[in-house]
Amino acid sequence: MIDLWNALVDPLRYEFVRNGLIAVALLGLTAGIIGAFVFVRGLTFFAHALGHTVFPGVMVALLLGQNLLIGGVLGALATVALVSLLGRVRHVAQDSAIGIVYVSLFSLGVILLSGARLLNANVGAVLVGNVLGIGTEDLIITAILAGLVALGGFLFYKELVLAAFDRVQARAIGLPVTGLDLLLLLLIACTSVVGTRAVGVLLVVSMLVIPPATARLLTDRLPRMMALGALFGALAGVVGLYLANYILVSSGGLIVLVASGLFLLVWALTRLRAWRRPALVLPTSSSPEAGEARTARPPGHPHRTSAPLLTISTNFTILIASEIHCKIGGSPMRTRLRVAVVSCGLLALLSLFGSVAWAAAPEVKFARPGRGSTVTEAPRTLEIHFSVDVNPRRSTIEVTGPDGTDATNGAVTSLRGDADAITVPLKPNLANGTYVVAWTTESFDDAIAAQGSFTFAIGPTARPGADSVAEDVDKPTGGPQTGGLPPAAGLLPLVGLGGLVALGGLGLRRRWTRR
């Protein structure tokens, strides 16, 4: 139990893990809401294309040294414009238009990349995401973008639903259907940009598709589907990221795998329910054995536990959402348009001021031998793995032995194939004792410097002298404090957020009942 708690809380001590968790949760929530529209409108392919065309936008922005998020949004906007232009040409079907536009833009991105000889590692980060490299400023922009998307969804909920299900009716009552289509595409584009950081351009559409599909298995109503989809998305993001902390594979891939695992689970549960249902209407036997067998039904039965839990959490979410919606959604469309325009302007201002870098200061993820650990055999190499890609030529590692001599045996190099790790060979047959490792490095993307030190010990009996501080001395220079927080403090922002939401919901509820 304690172990489980530690496993849950331990990663939260690190700033980059906290940021990453918040980012994936935000992505899950946003994508769940917008994904419901993608689902009912059958826009999967378009969403896929939009996710991909963020790539050339980001590449152009990278080459020009501009804000990458804005580049991504512009890339997606260009796609929307080109597809709707090309779709008007006779003899070019909509799906061909999407295919042609997105592949052209994507290959443009690849060519820009190969022309500029940018680093492999950079491409990897854009293609498959690097959620652990997210910085605080970046997180703020992401949060604002996600908030805007959710806001757009709420403000124009009625109009979007009508345009999705009955376009004729929508036109007949004078709604700007084309404008609403563009709005929806814009929302999808913004979601894709949010997701690029977390799961990468290749997989971002899966966050738009899989959680809503999971929710669709459980409900027939759109608002409930949105809430459930958001829930599943956030859950998949958080669980996937936790797993990625322990299994060292691509976190984006894991997040998507968790999402699809949820889908399979829910599908199996609904099948189980469908199979069990006939058994319930069978005439019940009066024998005590049969009665016992019925009460001994496993606690995980969907009828008994999962369904109420799901319903409660969903209903709570819908409650809050509908309260907010009643407050704002009832006002005439022009007012809501004004709200939307003002908040878009605010976002633009914010992103102009914030010099958003997509990479944060390097922070140590782990080292081999481990920080503060005691190894029995003398290691031949020392590896330090960072949260972002680092430049081996601008890195130093000093290893000082117990007798004060240098224990390294060569130059610092990049770990073969891992751009986020540096390694240094150690002298053979190192003596037992405590070794102090002092490192400096620089992130590859933005040349943000960082330094720190830790200790490890060799030998069965040796105790690292600086055991208590070993974990806490890795502070990037100029970066935010990473260690030193008590484990539970990492939960504070999340708890605070939850509390705020709950308070807001309660307040709205009270005003609502009074009216």
Partner 1 sequence: MVNELLRWLGEPFELELLRWVLAEVVVVGLTCGLVGSFVVLRRLTFLGEALPHTMFPGVVVAFLIGGSLFWGAGIAAVIAVVLVGILLRLRGLKEDIAIGLLFNVALAIGLVLISSQRGFARDLESFLFGQVLAIAPADLYLSLAVGGLVLLVLALFDKELLLVTFDRAQAAAQGLPVMGLDLLLLGLLALTVLASLQAVGNVLLVALLITPAATGRLLAYRFPTMLALAALSGALAGVIGLYLSYYQGWATGASMALSSTGLFLLALLLSPKAGLLAWARGRGKATDPTHRPPPPRGEGRGEGVSSTSREAAP
Task: Give 249 or 488: the residue with its C-beta nearer to partner 1.
Answer: 249
Question: To the nearest whole angstrom, how small is the minimum distance from the Cβ of residue 408 to partner 1?
Answer: 22
Within 8 A by CB and 6+ apart from 125, the residues are: 133, 200, 358, 359, 389
Candidates 252, 256, 229; CA nearest to 313 is: 229
> Which region, judged by CB under 8 A, interacts with partner 1, from 15-23, 70-78, 122-130, 477-485?
122-130
| 285 is a site residue for partner 1 (CB under 8 A) | no
Within 8 A by CB and 6+ apart from 38, the residues are: 44, 46, 47, 188, 208, 209, 212
Task: Give 254 or 360: the residue with its C-beta nearer to partner 1.
Answer: 254
Residue bearing tokens 């405590």: 434
| 272 is a site residue for partner 1 (CB under 8 A) | no
Among 93, 268, 333, 501, binds partner 1 (CB under 8 A): 93
Token digits of residue 12: 């939260």
Contacts of residues 150-153 at CB distance under 8 Å and 24 or more positions apart, as own/partner, are 150/29, 150/30, 150/33, 151/339, 151/340, 151/343, 152/183, 152/186, 152/187, 152/340, 153/33, 153/34, 153/37, 153/187, 153/226
Distances (CA, A) of 11 to 16, 19, 26, 172, 386: 9, 11, 19, 54, 14
| 107 is a site residue for partner 1 (CB under 8 A) | yes
Residues in 130-159 at the binding interface with partner 1, rule: CB under 8 A? none
- x/- map, 168-197, partner 1, by CB under 8 A: x--xx-x--x--------------------
Among 9, 63, 118, 128, binds partner 1 (CB under 8 A): 128
| 96 is a site residue for partner 1 (CB under 8 A) | yes
Among 205, 239, 426, 448, binds partner 1 (CB under 8 A): 205
Residues in 439-468 at the binding interface with partner 1, rule: CB under 8 A? none
Q: Give the separation between CA 374 and CA 180, rounded to whole angstroms.
A: 62
> Which region, judged by CB under 8 A, interacts with partner 1, from 119-127, 371-379, 474-482, 489-497?
119-127
> Which region, judged by CB under 8 A, interacts with partner 1, from 104-112, 146-154, 353-361, 493-501?
104-112
- x/- map, 239-268, partner 1, by CB under 8 A: ---------xxx-xxx-xx--x--x---x-
Q: Is 164 helix (H, G, I), strand (E, B) or coil?
A: helix
Among 63, 77, 143, 217, binds partner 1 (CB under 8 A): 217
| 228 is a site residue for partner 1 (CB under 8 A) | no
Q: Give the separation between CA 391 and CA 409, rounded to whole angstroms.
A: 20
Q: Give the separation between CA 27 and CA 326, rounded to whole angstroms.
A: 25
Residue bearing tokens 């512009």: 74
| 206 is a site residue for partner 1 (CB under 8 A) | yes
| 224 is a site residue for partner 1 (CB under 8 A) | no
User: What phi and psi, each to the nearest 5 degrees, are found at residue 425?
Assistant: -75, 145
The one-character DSSP state at 408 is B
Cβ-based neighbour number of residue 31 at 10 Å: 38
435 contacts 445 by C-beta, under 8 angstroms: no
Residue ranges that bind partner 1, judged by CB under 8 A: 39, 42, 44-45, 48, 52, 89-93, 95-96, 98-100, 103-104, 106-108, 110-111, 113-115, 120-121, 123-124, 127-128, 167-168, 171-172, 174, 177, 202-203, 205-206, 209-210, 213, 216-217, 248-250, 252-254, 256-257, 260, 263, 267, 415-419
